[in-house]
Structure 1
């Protein structure tokens, strides 16, 4: 059986498409999910957590049981105990210890918002220094 040049080209293009389709799952596994980013750290210091106040009272209502301190590159401490955390992009997640699973959106340098049910909540945590 002989193939014309155009038939060979069409077959080659089809093979290339087949290879690309077969390779897509492997490429997806090799690439981090969107928004995850590379592991990173946040600034050391104490993060005082509070709920918003009202116009007639305090600006914020401190929630001491929610506050924590970053002591080293990947360790935190709180009144409940200590553990490790992981930062990826704009998300901070406590990965061990009593706060394991707690997540925060990094709004700006030294300003976090706790994630509840997948959404940023009213609880905010502000860095107060080392």
Structure 2
């Protein structure tokens, strides 16, 4: 009886153990517009890429400039657009407001997308 009770408690305890997600913690992006561009510097003006920009919405989804929808997966500081017109695009998060696009070999492509979400103008 005592052995069965210990086994039952042990099995029930396993249900509450959180398992690590391979690749990092599952997260979402802030909702709102993401404006993509090739960044500039003191001597070069940034080059806007509106055709690569998107808006994040509820349920880990995005809306492309043509109005079509897709989904994304964010694991810690890595973002992958998993369906829709931008399926396969991958990014590295630079804080919570900047995405830096990665090529197939994990090197930066030079494109960044900046969150243009709601502004708080409280005084």
Is it true that 1:75 corresponds to 2:34 in the alignment?
A: no
Please say which structure displays the higher CA radius of gyration.
Answer: 1
CA RMSD of aligned residues (A): 1.8
> In the alignment, what sits opposite 1:52?
39
The number of residue pairs the alignment matches comes to 98
> In the alignment, what sits opposite 1:100?
87
- Residue 53 of structure 1 deviates from its aligned partner by 2.6
Which consecutive unaligned segments of at least 5 residues does structure 2 have?
A: 1-18, 119-123
> In the alignment, what sits opposite 1:62?
48
| TM-score when normalising by structure 2 | 0.71
Is it true that 1:124 corresponds to 2:95 in the alignment?
A: no
- Residue 56 of structure 1 deviates from its aligned partner by 3.8
- Residue 112 of structure 1 deviates from its aligned partner by 0.5
- Residue 40 of structure 1 deviates from its aligned partner by 1.1
What is the SS of the residue equivalent to 1:65?
helix
What is the SS of the residue equivalent to 2:51?
coil
What is the SS of the residue equivalent to 2:34?
strand
Which consecutive unaligned segments of at least 5 residues does structure 1 have?
A: 1-29
| TM-score when normalising by structure 1 | 0.68
- What are the superposed Cα offsets for residues 20-52 of structure 1, whole Å, 9 maximum, x if unpaired? xxxxxxxxxx8654xx11221010010000002
- Residue 69 of structure 1 deviates from its aligned partner by 0.6
Higher strand share: 1
